[in-house]
Amino acid sequence: MKKKIPKPGILWITGLSGAGKTTTGDLVFKELNKEFTKIKRLDGDLLRKKLKLNRNKKTFTVAHRKKNGATYSKICKDYENKGYFVIISVMALYNEVYKKNKKTFKNYIDVYLKVPIKELIRRDPKKLYKKFFQKKIKNVAGLDLKFDEPKNCKINVNWNKKISSISIKNKIIKYLKYKKCI
């Protein structure tokens, strides 16, 4: 089967650390990549490393995070201009980033993975919450660092024990196809 060319756009997946952003983005990418060409996958952790953002792990301040969010948006815009549908998983949890994205991108789909802090602390894949409680790090979004919870996202996922990564992926794919976003 010949792959189709997608409608250029941005699928911006956000949530706190441990919410499942990377897993969700990877699953959506894998599914869309079967059917479409020009699908680009970006992840905040990998972008930070590659671009050498926040080299000092103790500098995850609001200012740094907002600057990173603007950088991620610029990268997405470059890919969108080249005809790509971009799937990006990032925190960037600030209203100014959301508002700018909604104005900047023609085909912008924002996804918010809302997971209770108790569940995030239980998961803790990067051991950020553990390090925070051991007073080894600070500026952890959702604990000592204020963040703006997204409002009016096109796709909101409220975590519960019955929801799976696959069901989240399916919800996103269904939305993208139904709304003709790809």
Compute the average pLDDT of residues 141-166.
93
Cα–Cα distance, 65 to 71 (Å, whole number):
10
CATH number for the domain harbouring residue 19: 3.40.50.300
- Residues 176 and 182: their CA atoms lie apart, in Å, by 6
Question: Would you state the structure tokens that stand for residue 174, as one six-digit string?
Answer: 């269904």
- Asked if residue 125 is part of any domain, the answer here is no
What does pTM read for this prediction? 0.94
pLDDT at 52: 74
- The pLDDT of residue 164 is 95
Quote helix, strand, coil % in the chain, to nearest 5: 45, 15, 40
Which pLDDT value is given to residue 54? 62
pLDDT tens profile 22-34: 999 999 999 999 9
- Number of domains present in the structure of the chain: 1
How crowded is residue 86: how many other Cβ atoms within 10 Å of its Cβ? Answer: 26
Average pLDDT, the chain: 92
In a domain, 58, yes or no: yes
Determine, yes or no, domain membership for 174: yes
Token pair belonging to 121: 């602390």
Rg (CA), the chain: 16
With respect to residue 168, please indicate whether it lies within any of the assigned structural domains. yes
* Residues contacting residue 144 through CB under 8 Å, at least 6 positions apart: 132, 138
Containing H/E element for 12? Answer: strand 9-14
In whole angstroms, what is the distance from residue 145 CA to residue 41 CA?
A: 27
137 in a structural domain: no
Given pLDDT bands bounded at 50, 70 and 90, which one contains residue 55? low
Distance CA 61, CA 118 (A): 22
Residue 93's pLDDT is what?
81
Q: How confident is the model at residue 45 (pLDDT cuts 50, 70, 90)?
A: confident
Higher pLDDT, 25 or 45: 25
| Overall average pLDDT of the 40-53 stretch | 87
- Inter-residue contact 101 to 110 (CB < 8 Å): yes
Boundaries of domain holding 164: 9-115+149-178
Give percent of the chain above pLDDT 70. 96
Mean pLDDT for 69-75 is 94
Can you give the pLDDT at residue 126? 93
pLDDT in tens, 106-152: 999 999 999 999 999 999 999 999 999 999 998 899 999 888 999 89
Residue 100, helix vs strand vs coil: helix
Largest CA-CA distance found in the chain, in angstroms, rounded: 54
Using CA atoms, how far apart are residues 138 and 181, in angstroms rounded to an integer?
38
- Region 10-22 average pLDDT: 97
